[in-house]
């Protein structure tokens, strides 16, 4: 049975249009409104939770038979739409991050540590750089060779020498396994695909203060516990490309948690959906999906009973795929 949408109202069938959730952050800005046209809550909006069933940002279905229901509710009550995968929560999450200022230097735990200490999934993630100001940097990894070196640098507030930072540009892709010290820096607009977890351990936040004059909470001991030492900062820079009927597909990662593909489309293309489900984000352009108009900033879940979908138009599409 297909989802039934009203004529002219969004997407028909088991293709779920998401209503994003927005998060105000001390480091956020206005690019989510300026670039995507979102109705953001303030001029320091840092995160768009574009496809999420997490309790801290549970997206509603925007239209169709299940309009107004949350993604978590649909996953709980209609698991058949998601390939009947196992697990007690929806496993993945997509964000768009606007870093007007630097994010904290942070790290995420793996599944085992997160389960024991936080009753949560761990967080392995990846980033695709949608936009970057000239000279924008990123922090990933560190230079400590031993845990003692790592702890000493933290105790001495010696982050200039500890952190591994480098310049980034639009189109760059980075895979960030749990245990990787990292920070998105000022001037970045990032597509983030991740495990569905909101566990972040901040180790350093530049001693900045909020409107009340308070520094944000740090999690130094947890950060020491979970950070990989020495760091593995090697990144794959060669990504396989596949020619499509009208465009190309680039496979950025195929990990134990998810796959990420980027489609650069220049016309009509039929894309197979042979995994439990796909989480699709239109990051540039306009066109149609199964004959319904879509545009930059739209996000969808393509359910398991949609064996293939037809895109038509000039678009860039990022697809997060559950394995």
**Which residue in 17, 202, 216, 262 is the catalytic one?**
202
pTM over 0.75: yes
* Domain boundaries of the chain, sorted by first residue: 19-226, 241-322
DSSP label at 7? T
pLDDT of the chain, 323 residues: tens digit per residue = 343 333 334 444 589 999 999 999 999 999 999 999 999 999 999 999 999 999 999 999 999 999 999 999 999 999 999 999 999 999 999 999 999 999 999 999 999 999 999 999 999 999 999 999 999 999 999 999 999 999 999 999 999 999 999 999 999 999 999 999 999 999 999 999 999 999 999 999 999 988 899 999 999 999 999 999 999 888 888 999 999 999 999 999 999 999 999 999 999 999 999 999 999 999 999 999 999 999 999 999 999 999 999 999 999 999 999 98
Q: Is 167 left (phi over 0), alpha (psi -120 to 50) or beta?
A: beta
**Residues whose CB falls within 8 Å of the CB of residue 8, separated by 6 or more in sequence, listed in order:** none
In contact, 72 and 91? CB cutoff 8 Å:
no
- In the numeric block, the tokens 């702890």 are attached to 151
User: 19-226: what fold?
Assistant: Jelly Rolls (2.60.120)
pLDDT of residue 110: 97
Residue 245, classified by CB atoms within 10 Å of its CB into exposed (0-12), middle (13-18) or buried (19+), is exposed
Whether 269 contacts 246, CB under 8 Å: yes
Tokens of 83: 């390939």
Structure tokens belonging to residue 323: 């394995």
pLDDT given for residue 4 in this prediction:
35
| Nearest C-alpha neighbor of 44 from the set 81, 97, 119 | 97
State yes or no: is 202 an active-site residue: yes
Looking at CATH, the fold of the domain delimited by 241-322 is given as: Jelly Rolls (2.60.120)
68: phi > 0 → left, psi -120 to 50 → alpha, else beta; which?
left
CB-based contacts of 283: which residues, under 8 Å, 6+ apart? 128, 130, 191, 296, 316, 317, 318
Q: Is the peptide bond before 230 cis (omega within 30 degrees of 0)?
A: yes
Res 13: pLDDT: 54
Same fold, 19-226 and 241-322: yes
Beta carbons within 10 angstroms of residue 42's beta carbon? 13
């Amino acid at each position: 049975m297909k989802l039934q949408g009203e004529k002219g109202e969004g997407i028909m069938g088991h293709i779920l249009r998401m209503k994003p959730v927005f998060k105000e952050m001390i480091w956020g800005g206005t690019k989510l409104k300026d670039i995507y046209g979102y109705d953001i809550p303030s001029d320091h909006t840092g995160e768009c939770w574009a496809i999420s069933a997490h309790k801290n940002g549970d997206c509603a279905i925007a239209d169709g038979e299940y309009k107004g229901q949350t993604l978590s509710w649909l996953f709980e009550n209609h698991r058949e739409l998601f390939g009947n995968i196992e697990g007690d929560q929806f496993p993945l999450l997509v964000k768009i991050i606007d870093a007007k200022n630097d994010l904290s230097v942070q790290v995420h735990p793996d599944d085992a540590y997160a389960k024991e200490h936080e009753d949560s999934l761990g967080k392995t993630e990846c980033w695709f750089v949608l936009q970057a100001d000239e000279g924008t940097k990123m922090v990933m990894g560190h230079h400590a060779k031993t845990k003692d070196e790592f702890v000493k640098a933290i105790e001495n507030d010696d982050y200039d020498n500890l952190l591994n930072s480098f310049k980034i540009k639009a189109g760059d892709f980075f895979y960030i396994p749990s245990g990787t010290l990292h920070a998105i820096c000022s001037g970045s607009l990032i597509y983030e695909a991740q495990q569905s977890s909101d566990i972040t351990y901040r180790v350093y936040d530049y001693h900045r203060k909020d409107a009340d004059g308070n520094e944000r909470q740090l999690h130094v001991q947890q950060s020491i516990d979970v950070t990989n030492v020495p760091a593995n900062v090697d990144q794959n820079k060669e990504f396989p490309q596949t020619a499509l009927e009208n465009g190309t597909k680039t496979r950025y990662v195929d990990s134990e948690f998810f796959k990420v593909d980027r489609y650069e489309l220049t016309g009509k293309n039929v894309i197979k959906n042979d995994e439990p489900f796909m989480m699709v984000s239109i990051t540039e352009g306009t066109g149609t999906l199964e004959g319904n108009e879509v545009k930059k900033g739209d996000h969808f879940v393509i359910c398991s009973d949609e064996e293939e979908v037809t895109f038509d138009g000039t678009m860039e599409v990022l697809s997060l795929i559950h394995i």
